Amino acid sequence: MEQAWKEDALVLGIESSCDETAASVVRGGREVLSNVIYSQIDLHTLYGGVVPEIASRKHIEKINQVIRKALDEAGISLRELDGIAVTYGPGLVGALLVGVAEAKSIAFATGIPLVGVHHIEGHISANYIEHPDLEPPFMCLVASGGHSHLVMVRDYGEYEIIARTRDDAAGEAFDKVARAIGLGYPGGPKIDKAAREGDPNAIDFPRGKVEGSPYDFSFSGLKSAVLNYLNGCRMKGEDFSRPDVAASFQRAVVDVLTEHSLSAAKDLGVKTLAIAGGVASNSALRASMQTACEEAGIRFVYPSPVYCTDNGAMIGVAGYYDFRNGYRAGYDLNAVPGLRIGEKQGVSR
């Protein structure tokens, strides 16, 4: 049943879909009162990637402290909250379950309304935080560790997928290439840094295309080309330049992301283009999109790096608009690891 929703409602956003335990209090869907993130990256670095079982256990250990801190920093008591929003998919099932169980417990104990939020819809909504005048419609490039999508945001909570990756996500390619050149996990920020010392034109890596789907992405060919290049160097007993490989690989990813986004935006008459997800914090991507959008007369918006990678604020913001649209979840809300953009399971009006 639809309930009245206040414009300045206070929403607690909870995120635990991967390796960040995060919580935030958001007022009015735009104003972040606190944003607490406990990153498990150091734990997983030892293994070269996220170990799901370790992630779940650490979420359990940290989630109460993170929520407590988010409330304290916001100066808000639990009872003052108007809603609780939690990521319920997509992501690692064991990790998602920790946030979902926590959110349901608080909602049950206090009677505060609950809603389940799609992780990627959260990433997209991070753009609202620092752009108070940003309103749909706009197009958003979502590039994270698990996703590479071009999404048309038709209205709050109304999404249409324009393009997707056919194989690896952009962030996944960054992580795999970083491992191959010995930079370790997580690859994105390390390649971003190493690339600053390298020549982006040193090696001509391929720009992946998908036949018949001009906006779709494909990064597995690029990843293989980097691995082949490294093998070739090894076989010839030659050293490779780590900064040059990082810069040339990054240039190839950035070119593809920028070109596909801009050609879709121009074809579809988009006036505002946004970026979101961990890869959106990449300095070369931000610069390239900025230039391309300026040339095309398209407004370009992007979140600060802290709102690009996983955080609770983006979930609080997306949750605010889901609540405003009349959505609520019951105490039977479950984690849905393969949840699709725009899909709802256990969340209804």
| Nearer CB in complex with Zn ion: 144/248 | 144
Q: How far apart are CA 218 and CA 294, in angstroms?
A: 26
Residue 258 binds ligand KG4 (CB under 6 A)? no
Residue 188 binds ligand KG4 (CB under 6 A)? yes
**In the complex, minimum distance from the CB of residue 254 to ligand KG4, in angstroms, rounded to a whole number:** 9
Whether 58 contacts 97, CB under 8 Å:
no
**In the complex, minimum distance from the CB of residue 123 to ligand KG4, in angstroms, rounded to a whole number:** 6
Interface residue with Zn ion among 16, 40, 144, 248 (CB under 5 A) is 144
Query: Which residues have C-beta within 8 Å of that of residue 68, sequence separation ≥ 6?
Result: none
Q: Which amino acid is at 5?
A: W
244 binds, among ligand KG4, Zn ion, none (CB under 5 to 8 A by kind): none
Residue 200 binds ligand KG4 (CB under 6 A)? no
Pairing of β 10-15 and β 83-89 = parallel
Could you tell me where the beta strands, DSSP code E, fall in 52-147? 83-89, 114-118, 138-143
Q: How far from 226 is each of 126, 167, 248, 291, CA to CA, in Å?
A: 32, 16, 9, 27
Interface residue with ligand KG4 among 99, 157, 200, 278 (CB under 6 A) is 278
Count of residues of this chain found to bind Zn ion when the rule CB under 5 A is applied: 2
Interface residue with ligand KG4 among 83, 122, 136, 145 (CB under 6 A) is 145
**Distance from first CA to last CA of the chain, Å, rounded?**
6
90 binds, among Zn ion, ligand KG4, none (CB under 5 to 8 A by kind): none
Residue 310 binds Zn ion (CB under 5 A)? yes
Q: Is 67 left (phi over 0), alpha (psi -120 to 50) or beta?
A: alpha
**In the complex, minimum distance from the CB of residue 281 to ligand KG4, in angstroms, rounded to a whole number:** 4
Residue for token digits 């992630």?
55
**In the complex, minimum distance from the CB of residue 166 to Zn ion, in angstroms, rounded to a whole number:** 20
Q: Footprint of ligand KG4 on this chain (CB under 6 A)?
A: 18, 144-146, 171, 174-175, 186-189, 192, 277-279, 281-282, 309-310
Q: Footprint of Zn ion on this chain (CB under 5 A)?
A: 144, 310
